[in-house]
Every structure is written in C-alpha cells, then in structure tokens.
Amino acid sequence: MSSLLDLLAPGEDVPEPPKKRTGPNRSRKGKRTERLVAKSLDAIPGVRAHRVPGSGSFASTEDADVVVTLPDGRRLLVEAKVRRTSAWKTLDGWLGGCDVLVLQLDQQGVGEQKPEARVFMRWQVFESLIRGAKGNE
C-alpha cells in the first residue's frame, strides 16, 4: 500500500498546508462590516444599534458583534460575517424567490432533542421586519 508521500517526485518537499487567514486585513474587513451593519440598522427610525468594541478579539460584555435595541425595548444580538461568493451559492439557491429560508438540522437519534431551526433571509426582508417591529409606527 502506497502513501501520499510516494506520489512526490524524488527530492520534492511535502507542500506546506495553507496558512489560516488572519491578520490586520481580515480584522479590518470584519470591523468594517460590523460598522456597516450597525450604521444601517441605526438609520432605521426608533432603532438603536452599535458595534460592540473588541468583538471577536477578547471576552466582552456582549457575545455579539452588534447590539440592536428595537423600539419596544427588545434587544437583538447580531453576529456579522464576511464570506466569499462561493459560500452563498447553496443558501441562495435554496432561498430562490422566497423571503425566508428555514434550516433545520436533520438529527437522527433516539431521545435527542432537535436543535432550534435557523433562519436565512435577504437584508431587505430583515430590515422590513425591523421597521415593522412593535412601537415603530
């Protein structure tokens, strides 16, 4: 039985694994996205939103990137991520022309409780729901 090392040409080194993308550029991109989300939500009348300082860098008082306070006092904790186009293809395909995609883990097992479903939607749908929150008329 041969190993992957047998596939290398004589004298060829084992390739280095790809480096994990970290560093200042990635950090700046994340912060820029968090600020954009907070600014966009804060522009909705009656809604207050702010970026959590140091989110993702160290333990903070909030386990989120952005905290949103709705007109009725309810709070939403928002996690903001930036991903390449390829990461969206499957979700966008499933969403199609619908407003909301509900994702449920297909967990098989006896006596196990299924985890809570997740929701994926376009920004315009999310914003319209926020605008229509109770007390925001």
Q: Which amino acid is at 137?
A: E
Q: Tell me whether strands 100-103 and 118-121 are parallel, antiparallel or unpaired.
A: antiparallel
Residue by residue, DSSP assigns 72-101 as TS-EEEE------GGGTHHHHHHHTT-SEE
The pLDDT tens digits of the residues spanning 21-33 come to 556 677 788 889 9
The pLDDT tens digits of the residues spanning 52-96 come to 987 766 655 678 999 999 999 999 999 998 888 887 899 999 999
- Kindly report whether the global pTM for this prediction surpasses the value 0.85: no
Quick one: pLDDT at residue 5? 43
Beta bridge partners of 100: 121
Q: How many CB atoms lie within 10 A of CB 55?
A: 20
